[in-house]
Amino acid sequence: MFLLLVFVLVLITIQLVRKRYVYWAERNVVQDMAYPLFGINWKSVFGGCSIAEIFQELYNKYSEKRYMGVYDYTTPILVILNPHLLKKISIKDFEYFMNHRPKLPKNVDRMWNRNLFNLVGTEWREMRKTLSPAHTGSRMKGMFVLMEECAKNFVQHFLQQDQDIVELDARETLARYTNDVIATSAYGYQCDSLKDENNEFYIRGLQTTDMSGLWKFIKFDMLRAFPWLGKIIKVELFDGDVTNFFGKIIEENVLYRIENKIERPDLIDLLMHADKSTSNGETVVSSMKENKEQNNGHQKKNLRFNIEDITAQALIFFFSGFGTVSSVLSFLTYELAVNPDIQKRLYEEVSQFRSKNDKLTYEGLGSLTYLDMVLSETLRKWPSFIRTDRVCSRSYTIEPETPDETAVHINKGDIIWIPIFAIHHDEKYWPNPEKFDPDRFSAENKMKIVPGTYIPFGIGPRTCIATRFVIQEIKILLYEIISTFEIVVTEKTLIPCQPYKKSSALLPGEGFWFGLQRRNS
């Protein structure tokens, strides 16, 4: 009897899995790589193939189509391949595709649920509106000084070393710079991670962004395959000791500023003075102070925007910026090391600027056009994320445009993927895409770029809110490095470079080493 029951259960499971994997075929959408339980992930899990390679293979195979169906483990996903359709979905019809795919079931991780990336609908709109002023030109100008100090500390640290060529692990070294920038710009916390290698802020940052290990695999992959597991095992994306550490820093920082009437051009200052109020009309800042006095720091009033909200936004700011920015810098230093002619041209622009200006300013940084071209090409060839996603919030129909198409009805809850990396490497839009060529972004050529084919920070209203912050952070460091050092290849530099294979973010893998050789002039 027991064996019969097991047999019946196996048959039912097989039938359910089969039905799951015909989701797109039943809608007359071409689909591929539907392998039981793993979907398109089987090559990544068992075949040693990177996620970028998987997407590139699929994209190249169906690039003449406007869309195709795949399966992320057992979840049906519609991949948008056509930039015109992508623009329509992400911009014109944004109301249908406003939200990101949730990584965890609701109410499992309160800190994750409250951050901007994970918020949905009206809550997302309100938080985006609140945070947007942190990334305006005036705010970036204020943060410029904080970032420049970190960049100068970085350069001075290696100038003090008595070596002809200082050999560095790109990702590890550059992550220390991004750590210090985020610490001072978002948290109001001062640290020098090159001098104090094991400072707690940096160590906690590594814990937050480390994607290795079995538990991390369960968090980030198994929950994609089986979202319902999140409710059963009550998994949290951010470890408790990490959130407690950052939460304590923020709470102490906020209350110190309130008591001492301190203002500073950073993210915490913006959130403290956000246009939010409590139910009885008190401002957030005065309410924090009152709660501190009356409740020994424990907030009991019905704040719409409180310490936990600030912590959640600052935590996702760190989570998103720590690894991705250091990765972009790693790929950028690699490309300059292996393309000395491009580096020479960049140095000439920087030298010419320095000969006419006493110091770098916010406005001056914006005038360095070739520097901007170099960074733009880096983000084209090595975008931070291989893909991004959207969830359909209400029924939507993609009308047919070619004889082989029929109307595709997308249901509420269906997920779409935007294959950023693959679009950036499509020869139709980017001739010889593997070549690192900043001239693609010259004033003349920029006008020829097809809309929807250059999307390193996403597309539409849900574009990364920190785009300006990231660009400024990278440009300042690059300016300071190029002014003082030549970036060179060393014996440890692996050519061609090998990105990390197991992540949907584009991260540097083994062999990302470079040398800093002091310039004579």
CA neighbor of 185 nearest in space, from 128, 155, 144? 144
- For residue 499, cis peptide bond before it (omega within 30 degrees of 0): no
* b/e map 9-18, b = 16+ CB within 10 Å: eeeeeeeeee
Question: Which segments are annotated as binding site?
Answer: 464
- The DSSP secondary structure of 242-263, one letter per residue, reads HHHHHHHHHHHHHHHHHHHT--
Report how far residue 6's alpha carbon sits from residue 9's, in angstroms, rounded to the nearest whole number.
5
Q: Provide the β-strand partners of residue 396.
A: 410
Q: Using an 8 Å Cβ cutoff, are 308 and 110 in contact?
A: yes
Q: Using an 8 Å Cβ cutoff, are 477 and 170 in contact?
A: no
Query: How many CB atoms are closer than 10 A to CB 443?
Result: 8
CA neighbor of 300 nearest in space, from 315, 323, 280? 280
- 165 is written with which tokens? 């060529």
Query: How many CB atoms are closer than 10 A to CB 190?
Result: 12
- 445 is written with which tokens? 């050529």
Q: Using an 8 Å Cβ cutoff, are 432 and 335 in contact?
A: no
Q: Provide the β-strand partners of residue 167.
A: 515
Report how far residue 124's alpha carbon sits from residue 13's, in angstroms, rounded to the nearest whole number.
37
Report how far residue 489's alpha carbon sits from residue 512's, in angstroms, rounded to the nearest whole number.
10
Backbone Cα Rg of the chain: 24
Report how far residue 259's alpha carbon sits from residue 267's, in angstroms, rounded to the nearest whole number.
18
Q: Is 483 helix (H, G, I), strand (E, B) or coil?
A: helix
Report how far residue 184's alpha carbon sits from residue 152's, in angstroms, rounded to the nearest whole number.
14
> Which H/E stretch holds residue 181?
helix 170-186
Question: Which segments are annotated as binding site for heme?
Answer: 464
Report how far residue 375's alpha carbon sits from residue 381's, in angstroms, rounded to the nearest whole number.
10
